Amino acid sequence: MAAILKYFSLVKFSHTIFALPFAFIGFTLAIKEGYTFTTEQLVLMLVCMVTARNAAMAFNRYIDRKFDALNPRTAIREIPAGLIKPQNALYFIIFNCLLFIIATYLINPICFYLSPVALFVVLFYSYTKRFTPLCHLVLGCGLALAPIGAYLVLSAQFAWLPIIFSFTVLTWVSGFDIIYALQDEQFDRVHQLNSIPVLLGTKGALRFSEFLHLISVTCIILAGIYGDFNFIYWIGVAIFTALIIYQHAIVKPNDLSRVNLAFGTTNGIASFIFACFSITSFFI
């Protein structure tokens, strides 16, 4: 059990709360539109979500292990701290990638054919900080696969609504990852790593994050209009928007002490509550 908990910590399993609610939105949206589902499909969707994220997070920790060892904030992570050997982390990554591909094969052909693309996106993110400050957008792209991927599990075809929700996730995640990256601005400068905070500075990064979150809120509004959802959906939109505003209110250029509150707690709550209201609105 202790060994399993180490790997749970390695991949920050609790952070699954960010994208998983949007996967349920995509999945239930397909049900609302008349596609039938089985318990097996639901389980396979969850397997895909968990294994893809496990592979992505573990790969990020594996690739960045030397930088993590140099950064006082990240030196306590499992690989630099010696709790998990790099080789074992690599085995963990391969196992999750294989399990992901097998799960997509059992779902339907389109999910299987797109599985290498999905893995490339979520794994490629780990390299992007080395050559582009737009690394946050690549991370956002990875998590944005959740609603459209879950929709494909049942429908096996693309549709506009899950795509709009995917753009919501892309800009929302990219925006709060920029806030999170503020903690490492000086470290990244010294070690020639790229990020929006390095490119624009703290104030500029916060403004850019606000811009991305404005797009995110716009997307969920467009989804509500396009889907003609009822008032329950709009309550979810209001709460999601309020929590987005709140996280920007508590993080200031001269006070980053509440970055983790903005990054983890606030966004986790926002995702969960928005999904609950959205899914409820689909069936009432």
Q: What is the pLDDT of residues 23-75, one digit of tens each?
A: 999 999 999 999 999 999 999 999 999 999 999 999 999 999 999 999 999 99
- The share of the chain scoring above pLDDT 70, in percent, equals 98
| pLDDT given at position 94 | 97
Rounded to two decimals, the pTM is 0.94
Domains of the chain: 2-282 (1.10.357.140)
Is it the case that residue 156 has pLDDT exceeding 70?
yes
User: 255: which strand partners?
Assistant: 252
Is it the case that residue 131 has pLDDT exceeding 90?
yes
Q: What is the pLDDT of residues 226-257, one digit of tens each?
A: 999 999 999 999 999 999 999 999 998 888 88
Is it the case that residue 21 has pLDDT exceeding 80?
yes
Is it the case that residue 2 has pLDDT exceeding 70?
no
Is it the case that residue 8 has pLDDT exceeding 90?
no
